[in-house]
Amino acid sequence: MERNLLLTPGPSLVPFLIRETQAQEIIHHRTKEFREILGKVNLGLKYVFCTRNPVLILSSSGTGAMEASVSNFLSAKDTVIIVEGGKFGERWKEIALKYNLEVISYKIEWGSAPEAGYIKDLLDNHEEVKAVFTTLCETSTATVYDIESIAKVTKDRDILLVVDAISGLGQDKLLTDEWGVDIVVSGSQKGFMLPPGLGFLSISDKARDFMNHSSLPRYYFDLGKALKSYEKNDTPFTPAISLITGLEVALNLIKREGLKERWEKFCKFAKAVRAAAKALGLNPFSQWPSVSVTAVVSPEKIKSSELVKHLRNKYGVSIAAGQADFKDKIFRIAHMGAIEEQDLVVGFYFLEKALKDLGYKVKAGVSVQKIEEILSEGVK
């Protein structure tokens, strides 16, 4: 009997309660029944996004929602600041360049986080800037960015702050309205515990003003059209119905546990995972470790990509290697969505074995023990 455990930072575990909704008979989307589901889902999304503004659902990956938050709010030749500290910061830049925006790149070392003060200086020196694009949890480095501080330097200017929270939302704290974030982007397959296929984005009033002056082409991702449908609990095109049906259940699970309680739980999980890695003599990679995923520096003689492969093939545990230059140097373990403490225990149990197989010296049980110690302090 093959047993698999998914500890990758997306797709992440989909609980059976949600998966079973995916086997239900399909319902038509232009019905009262489906509009009622959309109505509930729209409310639930506001809760998780911590906003009173609309959160739109796109039938696409999170990247589609990232593109929409460029193409709907800006025009060619507009200048934007992009924080580039990993693969997903780079994605912002790639999208911006495709749309002929002028990009001021704030490059930071992988594993480090941007400084709000530096962004402030950039803004002071470049009055032409229209938007700042950054990330809540830079998945490629497992680093959380201080969005609260960045928002402090953007919110009183006539510019937009756009945050990719695809992997972070639901674990890494993000107070969209309170901090003053204009657009928050997310996706279904991480904190929302669903299969991939939905993108989400919240839109502030300021962002809606920008939308009126944007002249970039878009059709499928036309958010003006989507907002009109949204008011009627409808969608402009046939949506991914089954995923939205599952989303209703996912949002109920999140609400039942409580968003704040979940932030605290995952914070504890992240702490336990870092301590477990240290107990194995391994170091966390990131200077500002995220609450959603932990990156660990692989032992010197073991390529992380090999470790990941071995762990998956021999023990059925999926974690992620690094990306780009860090492909063979770090491995990443997710603690997001539906992942619970027993998953971390099983993950580290087999990680110990896999490390041993590859010639790394491990005292059996040392990392699992550490997880138990830290999580015994109480997980709500």
* CA–CA separation, 145 and 137 (whole Å): 6
CB of 96 to a second copy, least distance (A): 9
Cα Rg for the chain, rounded, in angstroms?
Answer: 21
Q: Which is nearer to a second copy, 29 or 46 (CB)?
A: 29
Q: Which residues contact 73 (CB under 8 A, 6 or more apart)?
A: 131, 160, 162, 183, 207, 210, 211, 214
Minimum Å gap between C-beta 238 and a second copy is: 5
Q: Which lies closer to a second copy via its Cβ, residue 98 or residue 356?
A: 98
Nearest approach, Cβ of 74 to a second copy (angstroms)?
11
To a second copy, the closest distance from the beta carbon of 58 in angstroms equals 8
In angstroms, what is the minimal distance from the CB of 143 to a second copy? 20
Spacing of C-alpha 332 from chain mean position: 14
> CB–CB of 175/161 below 8 Å?
no
Instruction: Tell me which residue of 297, 292, 298, 288 sits closest to 270, measured CA to CA.
Output: 292
Please report how close the Cβ of residue 162 comes to a second copy at its closest, in angstroms: 15
Long-range contacts of 309-313, Cβ-Cβ distance < 8 Å, separation of 24 or more = 310/354, 310/357, 310/358, 311/350, 311/351, 311/354
Tell the smallest beta-carbon distance from residue 178 to a second copy (Å).
30
CB of 237 or CB of 261, closer to a second copy: 237
Considering beta carbons, is residue 197 or 299 the nearer one to a second copy?
197
DSSP symbol at 222: -
The smaller minimum CB distance to a second copy, of residues 221 and 230, is found at: 221
Q: Name which of 91 and 274 has its Cβ closer to a second copy.
A: 91
Least distance from C-beta 317 to a second copy, angstroms?
11
DSSP 204: -
Cβ nearer to a second copy, comparing 66 with 132: 66
DSSP assigned state of 361: -
Report CA-CA distances (Å) from 374 to 48, 271, 274, 341: 27, 8, 11, 11
**Please, what is the minimum distance in Å from the beta carbon of residue 351 to a second copy?**
17
Q: In what order do the strands lie in the sheet with 293-297?
A: 293-297, 330-334, 320-321
Q: Closest CB to a second copy among 157 and 303?
A: 303
Q: Site residues (CB under 8 A) for a second copy?
A: 4, 6, 8, 10-11, 13-14, 16, 19-20, 22-29, 31, 59-64, 66-67, 71, 94-95, 98-100, 187, 189, 195-197, 216-222, 237-243, 312, 318
- Angle between helices 62-71 and 87-98 in degrees, nearest 10: 40
Residue 192's identity, in one-letter code, is: F
Please identify, using beta-carbon distances, which residue of 252 and 318 lies nearer to a second copy. 318
Structure tokens at 286: 């990131």
Q: What backbone torsions phi and psi does residue 89 show, to the nearest 5 degrees?
A: -65, -40
CA distance 355 to 6: 18
CA-to-CA dists, residue 54 to 101, 118, 248, angstroms: 26, 31, 16
- Kindly state the smallest distance separating residue 86's Cβ from a second copy, in Å: 16
Residue nearer to a second copy on the CB measure, 179 or 350: 350
